Structure formats: structure tokens, C-alpha cells
Amino acid sequence: MKIAIAGAGAMGSRFGLMLKQGGNDVLLIDGWQEHINAIKENGLKANYNGEEITVKVPIVNQNEVPTGEQFDLIILFTKAMQLEKMLQDVKPLIADHTEVLCLLNGIGHEDVIEKFVPMEKIFIGNTMWTAGLEGPGKAKLFGSGSVELQNLGIGQEESAKKLAETLSASGLNAKYSDNIHYSIYRKACVNGTMNGLCTILDVNMAGLGATKPAHDMVVTIVNEFAAVAAKENVNLDIPEVIEYVETCFDPTTIGMHFPSMHQDLIKNNRLTEIDYINGAISRKGKKYGVVTPYCDFLTQLVHSKEEILGAK
Ligand SMILES: NC(=O)C1=CN([C@@H]2O[C@H](COP(=O)(O)OP(=O)(O)OC[C@H]3O[C@@H](n4cnc5c(N)ncnc54)[C@H](OP(=O)(O)O)[C@@H]3O)[C@@H](O)[C@H]2O)C=CC1
Ligand SMILES: CC(C)(CO)C(=O)C(=O)O
């Protein structure tokens, strides 16, 4: 399959690497020139579950996407605030048959994608895979993960199932979800707790889980997400979601991971996706008349920290 990864940071590199190793024809697309140069010169390097590997994979700057090339699949893996610009830049690659899969964290990305891609070609989902960048062209990939996805367009279930099979054939452990809005809210509860709290407290997920107030904070935040989701007819099974969120504390699975928001702000001094996670719940809460004090406060704390650190 001919696949473009639009946004080849940590996660785009992971998916690109695994899909390439799985025999697909992969093109990475990104905007970070130093990273592009490093991959062009030395290949994509990765510490892959403890083993140092190099994979030769083509990469282009999003300002110079090849005209005349068409892709079967484009996987969107930018940060939420970069999504619209990326879609504008990759527009020439979107042919009539091109399927577009969005696996970004956060809520409501379909509103942006719909401006560029016909509904029947849009697939949305989320992932529990993790990844980090050690520097330009060098990824750190450990542990295992999963993907859930569904079609947005009516009658595209078979295409969504095939897409999940394609990802799974490269070891990405993908499955079709028959209620992706539920899955996205469920995953957003993971990010709404782990990402902001680990960033403010400067710990990994296992470190957060080892603190006494962690459980109460998780319970309160999940309840705020659930109250907002219910207004959109997504009825979260709150005890199950809390249990799911707290699996992230396990140091033997993904607990040692510093969430992507921590990587952004604390490691790389970059702005965060908080407005698309807890901030989205605050905004929706105001719209629906639901109070969300923890999400409001966490959003404010992360924005204050961005200002203090002069993040860009
Ligand atoms: N990392 C993780 O473990 C997980 C991340 N996600 C989600 O996946 C999506 C993509 O995240 P992720 O792969 O972590 O994003 P990254 O921050 O690794 O990459 C996103 C983009 O940021 C820019 N960039 C990244 N690092 C630097 C740097 N040091 N200096 C300059 N530019 C840089 C690059 O583009 P540009 O130069 O154009 O800005 C890059 O394409 C997000 O929605 C995230 O929440 C989901 C699950 C796990
Ligand atoms: C759940 C978690 C923490 C890892 O998949 C993530 O989504 C992130 O790092 O942003």
C-alpha cells in the first residue's frame, strides 16, 4: 500500500517505521527541516525496544510535497494545532480514492478534516502506542500499543475494517470500533489526566500513579469528561474508564513513558495540546452548562507554565 505519514514526529516516525518494515511504500512528510535532513542523510534511526536500528525511508518537507503522486492512505500525525496547515499542504496528494486516517490526541479533529476530505474517505481513531524523539532523525520506541478506528462516512465499515487489517499486518494491533466517539472520549480521559498532570508535576505516568492524590484527581477529571460526553450522547462507563486510565501507571507496560505533553513543554519548550484536551472539555462544559473546575484549572496551569517557560 502507498502510505503518506503527514506529521513525522515521534508517533509518525513509529507508524512510518513499522508500516515500512511491514512492506508498505511509505513517505514521511514533516515541517521540521533539521529532522528531515537527518532522515535524508542517515535514515530514520530508532532505539526499537532496546535495539538500535536504521530504516531507509523517504521524507519530504510539507512545503514541497511531490505533485502527481497519489496515495492510498494518508495518516495524520501532527500536533493538533498543526493539523489544518498540514492538510492544506498535503491537499495535492489527496486523490479520489485516498483514505485519510486521523490518530491525533484530542477531541473534534473531524471538523477540520472535513474541510479538505470528503466524509466517506475520513477515518478517525486513537492509539495507545507511545513514542519519543531523542533528537532530529532519532526515535525512541518501546513497549506495545493498540489502535482503534472507525469510518466517519456512512457505509464505509468494510473499508475501516480493511484499514485496521493493513495496520495490524505491520504489528500495529488495530481494531475496528463500532462507536469511535466513545473510544475517543475514553482515550481523551487518559490524556486529560496523564498529560496535564505529568507535565505540571514533571513526572512520568508511573511517578504520578505513585502519589497519594493521583486516584482522586483521576476520578474527578474522568467525571468531568463523562458529564460533558453525556451531553453529546456518549455515556462513558465511569468505573471502567477509571480502571483503564490507571493502567497507565503500570511501570511494566507504559508507566515509564512521559506523555507527549511533557515531551512538548518540559523537554522541548514547545506549546501544548491542552486546548484540545482539558480545554475542549472546559469550552464544551460552558456551552452545555456543565461545571468542569479541574479541567478549567489544569488548562490554566498548563498555559501559565507555557508562558513562564516562554514555550513556542
Ligand atoms: N508521543 C506519544 O507517545 C503520543 C502522541 N500522540 C499524539 O500524536 C500526535 C503527534 O504527536 P507526537 O508524534 O508526539 O509529536 P511530535 O512533537 O514528536 O511531532 C510533531 C511535530 O512537531 C515538530 N517537532 C517535534 N519535535 C520538535 C523539536 N524538538 N523541534 C522542532 N520541531 C519539533 C515537528 O513538526 P514542525 O516542525 O512542523 O512543527 C513534528 O512533526 C499528537 O496529537 C499527540 O498527542 C498519541 C499517542 C502517544
Ligand atoms: C496515552 C499516552 C500517554 C501514551 O499513549 C499518550 O497519548 C501521550 O503520550 O500523549
Spell 120-143 as b/e; 16+ CB within 10 A means b.
ebbbbbbbbbbbbbeeebbbbbee
d(CA 280, CA 232): 13
Residues 6, 145 within the same domain: yes
Asked if 157 and 34 sit in the same domain, the reply is: yes
Q: Counting atoms of ligand 2 from 1, which one is nearest the CA of 258? A: 9
Distance from residue 132's CA to the centre of ligand 2 (Å): 10
Please give the average per-residue pLDDT across 285-301, as a whole number. Answer: 98
Ligand 1 atom closest to the CA of 127, numbered from 1: 47
67 pLDDT above the threshold of 90? no
State the pLDDT confidence band at 272, using cuts at 50, 70 and 90. very high
Boundary residue ending a domain (128, 162, 178): 178
Model pLDDT for residues 7-25, shown as the tens digit of each residue: 999 999 999 999 999 999 9
Among 20, 138, 187, 305, the one annotated catalytic: 187
- Of 135, 153, 178, the last residue of a domain is 178
The CA 258 to ligand 2 mean position distance, Å, reads 8
State if residue 131 touches ligand 1 by the CB under 6 angstroms criterion.
Answer: yes
Q: What percent of the chain has pLDDT over 90?
A: 98
Dihedral (Cα; 174, 178, 180, 183), 10-degree rounding: -70
The whole-angstrom separation of Cα 54 and Cα 94 is 29
Question: Are residues 132 and 11 part of one domain?
Answer: yes
From ligand 2's centre to the CA of 155, what distance in Å? 31
Q: Is the dihedral of CA 150, 153, 157, 159 positive or negative?
A: negative
Boundary residue ending a domain (178, 198, 231): 178
For the stretch 278-287, pLDDT in tens is 999 999 999 9
Q: Residue 130: CB within 6 Å of ligand 1?
A: yes
Task: Over range 293-310, report the average pLDDT.
Answer: 98
Considering the domain architecture, whether residues 266 and 117 belong to the same structural domain is answered as no
Residue 302 grid cell: 498548563
Residues 59 and 146 in one domain: yes
For residue 169, the CA-to-ligand 2 centroid distance in Å is 23
ipTM of the complex: 0.95
Q: Are 297 and 153 members of one domain?
A: no
218 and 300, same structural domain?
yes
Output the domain CATH number for residue 291.
1.10.1040.10
Q: How confident is the model over 179-225, as pLDDT tens digits?
A: 999 999 999 999 999 999 999 999 999 999 999 999 999 999 999 99
Q: Is the pLDDT of residue 173 over 90?
A: yes
CATH number at residue 70: 3.40.50.720
Beta strands 59-61 and 25-30 are parallel
Same domain, 151 and 260: no
Pocket test for ligand 1, best of 78, 87, 186, 273 (most atoms within 8 A of CB): 78
Strands 59-61 and 147-151, sheet pairing: unpaired
d(C-alpha 48, C-alpha 128), whole Å? 17
E strand residue ranges, 108-164: 122-127, 132-135, 138-141, 147-151
Total structural domains within the chain: 2
**Residue indicated by cell numbers 535495539:** 51
32-42, pLDDT tens digit by residue?
A: 999 999 999 99
pLDDT at 139: 98
- In the reported structure, the alpha carbon of residue 119 is separated from the centroid of ligand 1 by a whole-number distance in angstroms of 26
Mean pLDDT confidence for 93-116 = 97
User: Mapping DSSP to helix (H, G, I), strand (E, B) and coil, where does residue 22 land?
Assistant: coil
Q: Is 260 in the pocket of ligand 2 (CB under 6 A)?
A: yes
128 lines ligand 2 (CB under 6 A): yes
Q: Do 173 and 276 belong to one domain?
A: no
Using a 6 Å cutoff on CB, does residue 126 contact ligand 2? no
Q: Do the Cβ atoms of 110 and 135 come closer than 8 Å?
A: no
**Statement to judge: residues 235 and 277 lie in one domain:** yes
Q: Report CA(78)–ligand 1 centroid distance (Å).
A: 6
Mutation test of ligand 2: which of 102, 105, 273 has the most ligand atoms closer than 8 Å to its C-beta?
105
User: Does 259 sit in the ligand 2 pocket, CB within 6 Å?
Assistant: yes
Q: Which domain range does residue 167 map to?
A: 2-178
Check whether 56 has a pLDDT greater than 90: yes
Whether the pLDDT of residue 68 is over 90: the answer is no
Residue length of the chain = 312
Q: In terms of domains, do 209 and 259 share one?
A: yes
Q: How far is the C-alpha of 286 from the C-alpha of 216, rounded, in Å?
A: 23
Which residue's CA lies nearest to atom 5 of ligand 1? 260
Query: Which atom from ligand 1 is nearest to the alpha carbon of 12?
Result: 13
Q: How far apart are CA 62 and CA 180, in angstroms?
A: 29
Averaged pLDDT, 101-110: 97
Among this protein's residues, is 187 annotated catalytic? Answer: yes
Q: Which three cell numbers stand for residue 250?
A: 503500570
For residues 68 and 215, state if they share a domain: no
